[in-house]
Structure 1
Amino acid sequence: MGDTNGRADQESEETWIQSATNPDQQIRLRSLGIYLENGGSVVDCRVIEDAEGLWTIYVRLSDRPGEHRVNMYKSDQPKTYRAVNLAVNTIRDDFGYFGPVVLSTERRAGGPRQTSSEADEAEG
């Protein structure tokens, strides 16, 4: 019986990955925290700015294949940040990752721009 419960626990821990066939795998912030507490680690990070100027974090995990988009704590929507420094602080402080972070953007020339002081005002 103990083996059956252990197997059920393992299966419940596996449910945080959205789908193995989904090229844009996702992990909730809550599940990532549990994963890190249980000894997992982030091995690579990428932060992407969308066309509206919001930043989203993608991580590669030590024992999981592929890249995972970080979603909100209790939602399957992406966790976004208004300023890149907030995303980098999360990666460093919450995920314990101090390696290289790749920054990229989906914005194109001529789109709306937000200065760092405007981003700070929006946060405060």
Structure 2
Amino acid sequence: MSVELVKEDDDPREEEAWIMGSNPDAAIRVRNLALYLERGGSLKEVRLVEGETGGWTVWVRLASRPGEYRLNIYKSDAPKVYRDVGRAIAACRDDFGYYGPITLSTERQPKGPVGEAAQAAERKDGVE
């Protein structure tokens, strides 16, 4: 999946942000999301996922495109990771103008028997 800015000399529109593909593991860069929103696009849903190391990644659903997109940093395929959930929420509100509900989820597993059972179940289902 890639996000491209398309500029055609014959077209009266200067630039458009196109998000291509509907891969569930797809990503969109911060700059391209900002351009998409400036051009009248909107966010339908935001999900923050806490990684095993404690960092938070942002996943968005766009109003005009199917699928969920991970937010990547500018000019990179690496995810934008926030160390603090408060900063991630503030970015959604301040940078992207999203004031709807935000879902929080985690990839962390508890330590002890409960966590070991959850990890064993994931391995059984083929997820690691």
Which band: TM-score by shorter chain?
A: 0.7 to 0.9
Percent identical pairs in the alignment equals: 50
* Structure 1 letter corresponding to 2:107: E
Instruction: State the match for 1:76 in structure 2.
Output: 77
Shift of 1:5: 3.0
Q: Aligned-pair RMSD on alpha carbons? A: 2.3
Q: Partners of 2:66 and 2:22 in 1: how far apart?
A: 11
Pairwise CA distance, 1:109: 1.1
Normalised by the size of structure 1, how large is the TM-score? 0.75
Shift of 1:21: 5.0
TM-score relative to the length of structure 2: 0.73
For 2:80 and 2:42, the matched residues in 1 are separated by 19
- The structure with more strand, counted as a fraction of residues: 2
- Match of residue 10 from structure 2: 5
State the structure with bigger RCO (CA 8 A, min sep 6), 1 or 2: 1
- Deviating 4+ runs (over 3 angstroms): none
Trace 1:1-124 onto structure 2 (pairs within 5 A).
5-6=10-11, 13-14=17-18, 17=19, 20=21, 22-110=23-111
Greater fraction of residues in helix: 1
Gaps of 5+ in 2: 1-7, 113-128
In the TM superposition, what is the alpha-carbon distance from 1:4 to its structure 2 partner?
Answer: 6.9
User: Is the 2:22–2:67 Cα contact (8 Å) retained in structure 1?
Assistant: no
Stretches of structure 1 that go unaligned for 5 or more consecutive residues are 112-124
